[in-house]
Structure 1
Amino acid sequence: MPQKKSSDPPCQTEACALQTCLNRYTYSPEKCDHHLHNLYECCQRMYDSTSGKGESTACPIPQVVTRWMKDHPKK
């Protein structure tokens, strides 16, 4: 895995891991659920640490992240 550059947007590493997994398992995206959860957890941490004002092209808006995390608790 490439080393993260300081100029990379927050959660970019998690988003790339998800995309790689989805490319590999095109017909079985459920195999990438843990990558999706990791991305949303990262986004939630970013928004929590910036009082919801953080920005990243890798993350949906804060309300979407909050709703997704509520609907998909970690097992």
Structure 2
Amino acid sequence: MSEPCQAEACSLQTCLNKNTYKPEKCNERLRALYQCCQGMYDNNSDATSTACPMASVVKRWMKDHPDGKKDK
């Protein structure tokens, strides 16, 4: 079984590699990763994935970026 949210993490990394000097162009991919991680933690608070930050980091990021408007 593959790691949860690995596809989102790889997509973000690819975007960051392409946009070295403009990482803000990858905000949609960052949001997708954090949403995936949040879903994983919501389903199982003990879940882990090398693609995801700790649950508390995900929770704080989602709270600080509630609607995506700050991401753009």
Match of 2:49 among 30, 51, 56: 56
Give the unaligned 5+ runs of structure 1. Answer: 1-6
Q: Which TM-score applies when normalising by structure 2?
A: 0.91
Partner of 2:33 in structure 1? 39
**Aligned counterpart, 1:11:** 5
The percent of aligned pairs where both chains have the same amino acid is 60
Task: Quote the offset at 1:8 in angstroms.
Answer: 1.3
Distance in 1 between residues matched to 2:51 and 2:21, nearest whole Å: 23
Unaligned runs of 5+ in 2: none
Of 12, 16, 19, 1:22 maps to: 16
Note the aligned Cα RMSD (angstroms).
0.7
Find the aligned partners of 2:28 and 2:66 in 1 and give their Cα distance. 12
Kindly indicate which of the two structures has a greater share of residues assigned to helix.
Answer: 2
